[in-house]
Structure 1
Amino acid sequence: MALCLGAAWPAWAATAAGRAEDPIQSSPALAKIRDAGVITLGYRDSSPPFSYLDRQRQPIGYSIDICLRVVDEVRRRLAMPTLDVRLMAVSSATRLPLLANGTVDLECGVTTNTAERNKSVAFSVTTFVAASRLMVRPGSSIRGLEDLRGQPVATTVATTSIQFLHTTNESRQLGMKILAGLDDLEAFRLLATGRAVAFAMDDVLLKSMIATQPEAAAYQIVEEPLTVEPYAIGLRRDDAVFKRLVDGVIVDLFRSGAIHALYRNWFQSPIPPKGINLQMPMSEALKRVVANPTDASDPRLYR
């Protein structure tokens, strides 16, 4: 497991010739932010409690709050107290390409750190640990993947859930018909309208979705987990200086205990705009991450 033991800022690094090197110039992200006078945050518009819009159509959420802490530190490190923040909506399909090409500096949503994704982008230390599960209608006989043999199943494009379903469908020859929504709400409607018998997605997102439905009792989450999903803040690859800054902010939240107040605010308290309380205590997996921060992408290390 890769441990992050803090983020010592390399104020000045000596070059091979003995000259001092500006650490900001050695960070493509920080140099871009400084030169442009703006930092760009990618957000999701409907993924409570991580990243979504309030009544004023402004992004709020757990991931947004963490990213704003990073923005504060960037302002301090660059000595730019008036650094502008640009907010850019991203989707499950666009978030990683926009990170990879430098359009977005931080992706503040609900993105799982995976080995495959690390080929194109980087991730901070883990900020949340979810599990992918199935949402079904009450009275459904579905208790696991075997019960989906030959059945239509909904999920969302460009997610780890759809990748898992495709891989498992092929390896176990389940004959599932996998239906993909462009976002979680569209995928949910496939279940709600009877076109799918189950909706596969991360449990925290399923619970949040159920809580917002007029008839919450019309849906339930299957107990058996499909996968483990370590969420993290996305950033560009090959920028060790910027990653140390981002990791340092998050590790400081963990070590100071501030993460607990932040967590309670979004997972154990009424949240805007409808005052819904998810009543989700911090999982044992996340407690372990807080005690021993890691940017590991291997889901087995979180079990």
Structure 2
Amino acid sequence: MRVKPLLLWVVAGALAASPAAAEDLTGTLKKIKETGSITLGYRESSVPFSYLDDNQKPVGYAMDICYKIVDAVKADLKLDKLEVKLNPVSSSTRIPLMANGTIDLECGSTTNNVDRQKQVAFTNSHFLTASRFVSKKANKITGIEGLKGKTVASTSGTTNIKQVVEANAERGLGLTVLPSKDHAEGFLLVETDRAAAFVMDDILLAGLIAGSKEPAAYEISKDSFSLPEPYGIMLRKDDPAFKALVDKATADLYKSPEGVKIYEKWFTQPIPPKGLVLNVPMDAAMKKAFAQPSDSPDPASYVAN
């Protein structure tokens, strides 16, 4: 009879020392394991990062990256299947929906900066962009100073509109800053002459111009409101286990030939739904970002040597 308690003690000790018991799942990984699902936040008009195609299906560069992360999560949790739920987000709702647990990954064109890192976390950067403006060539607006006294649009909840407001105050430009609900509406304000310019990340402006009725009628400013800034897939703050998994998945992808192929698919080849070509090949800074994956919010850290 003495043997039985001893055996029970040995078995209990072995279970307690097992990896599964010692490293109980927490945060997002626990949520995914328990629900059998992961929720991706997507944008409706952030071409080519995350947008709706002709079938109203979210597609894009950031969506492809997120699906690779989903594959890594599924493998890590040893799940036979993992349901992917899709939830639309906007510039204004993306951070609140991440913070309250509605979405698990935000697959879009979100700038990784110090202020946002106080609220959310980011994985390794997948693109670098600068804040510029688009205007009609016929209006002959030369640089930021050429916007003086004019109405300028920018999307609510973005770093861009903050930069415009700051530049307006610092330079005494006398701008009327018009918030738009999304990028498509901001560009429409320029198309319909309700705004002289729309301030947004240059790559997003390139996508909007390429998809417009008359691409040759528009131009993107050489002047910028910012240094090149990093985009990152957004996830919840203070969730180290999930972040470690996502960081490894994205780093492995970016450093692989497949990562380059995904980039080229969306930036140098025809993209849906109209077969537009953005013609934005990797520059030296992007090559460095892929070769040395980083979640740094500091634009200076991405400058190519």
What is the TM-score of this pair, normalised by structure 2?
Answer: 0.90
Displacement of 1:142: 2.3
Counterpart CA distance in 1 for 2:47 and 2:141 is 26
User: C-alpha separation between the residues in 2 aligned to 1:172 and 1:97?
Assistant: 32
The Cα offsets for residues 262-298 of structure 1, whole Å up to 9 and x where unpaired, read as 1111111111111111111112221111121111112
What is aligned with 1:258? 258
Show CA shifts across 1:99-149 (max 9, x none): 111110000011000111111100001011111111011133422222222
Q: 1:23 to 1:65 in 2, by over 3 A?
A: farther
**Equivalent residue number for residue 299 of structure 2:** 299
Q: Which residue of 2 aligns with 1:285?
A: 285
Residues in 1 aligned to 2:143 and 2:301: alpha-carbon distance in whole angstroms: 23
**Match of 2:197, as an amino acid?**
A
The answer to which of 83-92 and 252-261 deviates more is: 252-261
1:267 corresponds to which residue? 267
* Matched residue, 1:160: 159
* TM superposition shift of 1:24: 5.0
Superposition deviation, residue 55 in structure 1:
2.0
User: Residues 195-246 of structure 1: CA distance to partner in whole angstroms, max 9, x if unpaired?
Assistant: 2111111111111111111211111111122222210000000011111111
**Which residue does 2:32 correspond to in 1?**
33
Contact 2:210/2:276 (8 A) holds in 1: yes
Are 1:145 and 2:149 matched, yes or no?
Answer: no
Structure 2 counterpart of 1:177 = 176
Partner of 2:60: 61
Task: Please state whether the residue corresponding to 1:112 is helix, strand or coil.
Answer: coil
**Structure 2 segments unaligned to the other structure (5+ residues):** 1-15
For residues 1-303 of structure 1, what are the structure 2 equivalents within 5 Å? Answer: 22-25=22-25, 27-227=26-226, 228-303=228-303
Q: Which moved more, 1:230-239 or 1:165-174?
A: 165-174
Letter matched to residue 137 of structure 1 = K
CA-to-aligned-CA distance 1:54-82 (integer Å, 9 cap, x gap) = 22211111100000001011111111121
The letter of the residue matching 1:284 is A
Q: Which amino acid aligns with 1:266?
A: W
Structure 1 gaps of 5+ residues are 1-16
The alpha-carbon distance between structure 1 residues 239 and 281, as it changes in their structure 2 partners (threshold 3 A), is same
Looking at CA atoms only, which structure, 1 or 2, has the larger radius of gyration? 2
Paired with 2:24 and 2:141, the residues of 1 have a C-alpha distance of 54
Task: Answer whether contact 2:209 2:215 (CA < 8 A) is retained.
Answer: yes
Cα distance 1:302–1:224, how it changes in 2: closer, same or farther (>3 A)? farther
% identical equivalent positions: 47
- Cα distance in 2 between the residues matched to 1:162 and 1:183: 12
Aligned Cα root-mean-square deviation (Å): 1.6
Describe the shift of the 1:19–1:38 C-alpha distance in structure 2 as closer, same or farther (beyond 3 A): closer
* Change beyond 3 A, Cα 1:22–1:170: farther
Kept in 1, the 8 Å contact 2:44–2:50? The answer is yes
* Contact 2:138-2:217 within 8 A present in 1 as well: no
Which whole-Å CA distance do the structure 2 matches of 1:153 and 1:255 have between them?
Answer: 39
More helix by share: 2
Give the counterpart letter for 1:275 in structure 2.
G
Asked whether the equivalents of residues 24 and 30 of structure 1 are also in contact (C-alpha less than 8 Å), the reply is no
TM-score w.r.t. length of structure 1: 0.90
**Aligned residue identity for 1:264:** E
Alignment: residue pair count: 286
What SS does the corresponding residue of 1:139 show, helix, strand or coil? helix
Partners of 2:231 and 2:135 in 1: how far apart? 24
The higher relative CO (CA closer than 8 Å, separation ≥ 6) is in: 1
3-state SS in 2 of match to 1:289: helix
User: Which structure 1 residue ranges, 4+ long, deviate > 6 Å from structure 2?
Assistant: none
Closer, same or farther in 2 for the Cα pair 1:22/1:105, shift >3 Å?
farther
